[in-house]
Amino acid sequence: MGFSVELKVRRRLLNALLVCAIYTGCTSAQQTINYQAPVEGTYVAHDFHFRSGETLPVVNLHYRTIGAPQRDANGHVNNAVMVLHGTGGTGAQFLAPYFANVLFGPGQPLDATRYYIILPDSIGTGGSSKPSDGLHARFPHYDYADMIDGQHLMLTEGLHVDHLRLVMGTSMGCMHSWMWGEMYPDFSDALMPLACQTVEIAGRNRMMRKMLMDAITQDPAWNHGDYTSQPPGIRTSLEMLLIMGSSPLQMQVNYPTREAADQYLDSYLQTHLTKADANDMLYQFDSSRDYDPSAKLSTIRVPVMYVNSADDFVNPPELGIAEKNIKLVSHGQFVLLPITDQTRGHGTHTMAAIWKQYLVQILEQSKPH
């Protein structure tokens, strides 16, 4: 009986992890927090120009903040940390206890009484402007550079933050971290990218993304984005996400029988099918189409702590890309986390207890003189 209860608890934890790691953001509505409550806000950007040449008269840029900004004698913010989410996620995912309660509390690496923590919802997700707000497939086809432009506007014009102590990010946020180091080389003191590669999205990674997008666009019910109910093809897209973000070891431990595995899959789909939007998902994955920071890695001037995990299905270690390209970064370090009972595949990026020692290290190494 005790084993059964424990197994159910572990299953619920894994379910929550998959929600964070794969697609939708986590929330903290039912958790006890050990840090100041987040404050939500939205910066409204007018006449926003996308790299595609498209424009919108208004773009909402939503964010959460924890703590308060501190300014030096010249009025520059010196304690801001921005944490960037993965594809389809939101800043709320970092309020999950296995992230926030490990990092944001008193005496912890990103103690919110010392740091001003900024958790944006990137363009296309959460409370920020996105296709499902009404434009559907007529929404501008944004890319990663547009998302970073939005983040920069939100920081400088919305929050009046002109400098960051650290930019860190997970999955897509990991890729955004590299781009921040290249697009705004003097804006932050350090970078901490978690769970990504430093090259164009190609090979199996690109194929998975294309399969996911094709499942939506090749479904006649998608109707070029003008559907009245979610096209059935989104089910296949969600199934792809489940495989991309999961950990074989944990899946086998938590779902050791055919019945348990089938039951979890059914539960996962029922939950996600009520939340996902096909156009939003399509745009989110298409936005990675021109990502490739490899040519400018040598221009990154600040210290970088780059962390991947060995059980990451999306970024498998046998590619050897990270070890090769980190040599191009003048102050870069790469850590490959070994597979353990605590790692969670691609979702290891949100399990802060596993890698927080490296966060402490990069904060120490990049401490302003």
All domains in the chain, ordered by first residue: 31-204+284-365 (3.40.50.1820)
What confidence score (pLDDT) does residue 31 get? 65
What confidence score (pLDDT) does residue 368 get? 86
Residues with Cβ < 8 Å from 94, sequence gap 6 or more? 26, 83, 85, 100, 119, 350
- DSSP result, 74-133: TS-B-SEEEEE--TT--GGGGGSHHHHHHHSSTTSTT-TTT-EEEEE--TTSTTS--GGG
Are 276 and 216 contacting, i.e. CB atoms less than 8 angstroms apart? no
As a whole number of angstroms, the distance between CA 279 and CA 281 comes to 5
List own/partner pairs for 11-15 with CB under 8 A and 24 or more apart.
Answer: 11/254, 11/255, 11/264, 14/250, 14/251, 14/254, 14/344, 15/264, 15/267, 15/268
Per the listing, tokens 């010392």 go with 114
Query: What pLDDT tens digit does each residue of the chain (369 aa) get?
Result: 333 333 333 344 444 444 444 444 344 444 688 899 999 999 999 999 999 999 999 999 999 999 999 999 999 999 999 999 999 999 999 999 999 999 999 999 999 999 999 999 999 999 999 999 999 999 999 999 999 999 999 999 999 999 999 999 999 999 999 999 999 999 999 999 999 999 999 999 999 999 999 999 999 999 999 999 999 999 999 999 999 999 999 999 999 999 999 999 999 999 999 999 999 999 999 999 999 999 999 999 999 999 999 999 999 999 999 999 999 999 999 999 999 999 999 999 999 999 999 999 999 999 987
Are 158 and 122 contacting, i.e. CB atoms less than 8 angstroms apart? no
As a whole number of angstroms, the distance between CA 131 and CA 222 comes to 14
As a whole number of angstroms, the distance between CA 154 and CA 151 comes to 5
The model's pTM is 0.91
Q: At what angle do helices 2-22 and 258-273 cross, to 10 degrees?
A: 40
List own/partner pairs for 6-11 with CB under 8 A and 24 or more apart.
Answer: 7/254, 10/253, 10/254, 11/254, 11/255, 11/264
What confidence score (pLDDT) does residue 33 get? 84
From the list 212, 119, 211, the residue with the least C-alpha distance to 170 is: 119
From the list 201, 177, 194, the residue with the least C-alpha distance to 288 is: 201
What confidence score (pLDDT) does residue 5 get? 34
Please report, for residues 27, 141, 142, 223, the alpha-carbon distance to residue 137 in angstroms, rounded to integers and kept in the order given. Answer: 28, 9, 12, 10
